[in-house]
Amino acid sequence: MPEQQIQPRQTAHKVCIKDLSNGVYIQQEGWQPNYIQVLDKQVSRINLIATVIDKQIFDSLITISLDDGTGVIQAKTFNEDTKKLQNINIGDFILLIGRPRKYNEQLFLTIEIIKKIPPAWGKVRKLELEKSNKQDDSGQENDRQKIFSIIKKLDTGYGADISEVLKMLNPEKGEAIINNLLKLGEIYENRPGYIKTID
């Protein structure tokens, strides 16, 4: 019987609900964790600060709805883990460490750790995310311009071969940025495997 591969514990990324909802959910095979592609980050564990706005109790399941001011997402616990939510109620301000999951196209979080915290921490987190987003925006803008330049250089009229574009970039990071630019409509796939800029 093959041994289960022990995975290092992933970083719990500080993200807002809006970024999770707008990200791309990637389901992986085997022991590799599923994750949400948020810009250039693969987010498989989440560090979220939010307010509990709803709580539903079932036989072996408790679901809470969380609002962080940018959106709403559900978090769920099953079976023995439901005890984690026994003292969590509507109106509580919480810190949650969890993992993204998708079922029937609905994105939700499974809970590893949850605890009540003072509401003042919400302001601290907001500042942290604003600072992080500014740094990401600056880096993204540089990467964006670089990709535009490469596409135009490789495009002989029929589009630029995506595999050739990726050879001139960090492939993993480049693929995430290309997917994001396609989603935003700033570039387009004129034929399978080829991309062009919107001129």
Both tokens of 45, joined, read 């564990």
Phi-psi region of 10 (alpha: psi -120 to 50; beta: other; left: phi over 0): beta
Instruction: Give per-residue pLDDT as tens, 130-163.
Output: 777 666 665 666 777 888 888 888 988 888 998 8
Give the Cα separation of 161 and 194 in Å (integer). Answer: 5
This prediction's pTM: 0.61
Instruction: Give per-residue pLDDT as tens, 26-82.
Output: 888 878 888 888 877 888 899 899 999 999 999 899 999 999 988 999 999 999 999
